[in-house]
């Protein structure tokens, strides 16, 4: 998570959406950089609402806008699958080395996920709280120009990004049955992604 106090902006870091590159590029410009532990670096809206929002509200008397990036659900799952298949993961309970992408997605769509497919949910991460706290600015991972333009204008900077923490490249495919199941079960997530900038 990155906080820009003067600009009243908190950049929440949805896992596997390229936020590590933004953290590296903006760390000297940010007022707060939450890099560790992962539970705070990747604090979802509910955790931001519970711990960070009250701090800004009660101590500073300000309301922050929030921003985040959402990735196309299939691309997001593909990134997790490839990340958990990287060298050195062999034999680990979260490894996808012995699992096809189709089987990984099918396991993700089950109620009781095996550890290798237990990667959370973008929808749950971004879920608006009962008090109205949610994401003010939501950008598609696939639309980097809009995200970069927003940050450059808002922060009055020229953004220079490098590729970081990227999952290994590989071709992935799904059976039509699994793809249909994914689109049906994650319909709300596909809808949220479509509505983002």
Q: Which fold has domain 2-195?
A: Rossmann fold (3.40.50)
Report the distance separating Cα 97 and Cα 100, nearest Å: 8
Among the listed residues 127, 116, 110, 109, the one whose alpha carbon sits nearest the alpha carbon of residue 93:
116
Q: Across residues 30-59, what is the average pLDDT? A: 96
pLDDT tens-place string over residues 99-149: 999 999 999 999 899 999 999 999 999 999 999 999 999 999 999 999 999
Q: Is 96 exposed, middle or buried (0-12, 13-18, 19+ CB in 10 A)?
A: buried
Whether residue 168 has pLDDT greater than 80: no
Domain range annotation of the chain: 2-195
DSSP line for 117-131 = G----HHHHTPPPTT
Whether residue 18 has pLDDT greater than 90: yes
Report the distance separating Cα 122 and Cα 64, nearest Å: 21
Quote the crossing angle between the two packed helices 73-83 and 101-108, to the nearest 10°: 120
Provide the 3-class DSSP secondary structure of residue 71.
coil
Quote the crossing angle between the two packed helices 176-185 and 187-195, to the nearest 10°: 70
- pLDDT value of residue 48: 97
Whether residue 66 has pLDDT greater than 80: yes
* Strand partners of residue 11: 2, 67
- The beta strands (E) that lie in the chain are given as 2-4, 9-11, 32-33, 65-70, 137-140
- pLDDT value of residue 162: 86
pLDDT band at 167 (very low <50, low <70, confident <90, very high): confident
């Amino acid at each position: 998570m990155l906080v820009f106090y003067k600009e009243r902006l908190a950049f929440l870091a949805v896992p596997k959406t390229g936020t590590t590159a933004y953290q590296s590029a903006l760390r000297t410009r940010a007022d707060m950089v939450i890099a560790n532990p992962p539970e705070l670096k990747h604090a979802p809206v509910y955790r931001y609402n519970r711990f960070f929002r009250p701090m800004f509200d009660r101590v500073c008397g300000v309301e922050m806008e929030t921003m985040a990036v959402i990735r196309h659900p299939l691309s997001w799952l593909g990134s997790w699958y490839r990340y958990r298949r990287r060298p050195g993961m062999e034999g680990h309970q979260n490894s996808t080395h012995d699992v096809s992408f189709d089987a990984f997605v099918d396991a993700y769509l089950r109620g009781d996920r095996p550890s290798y497919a237990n990667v959370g949910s973008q929808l749950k991460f971004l879920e608006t709280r009962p008090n109205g706290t949610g994401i003010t600015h939501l950008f598609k991972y696939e639309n980097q120009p809009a995200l970069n333009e927003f940050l450059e204008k808002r922060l009055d900077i020229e953004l220079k990004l490098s590729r970081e923490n990227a999952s290994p490249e590989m071709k992935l495919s799904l059976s039509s049955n699994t793809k249909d199941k994914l689109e049906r079960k994650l319909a709300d997530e596909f809808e949220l992604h479509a509505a983002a900038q």
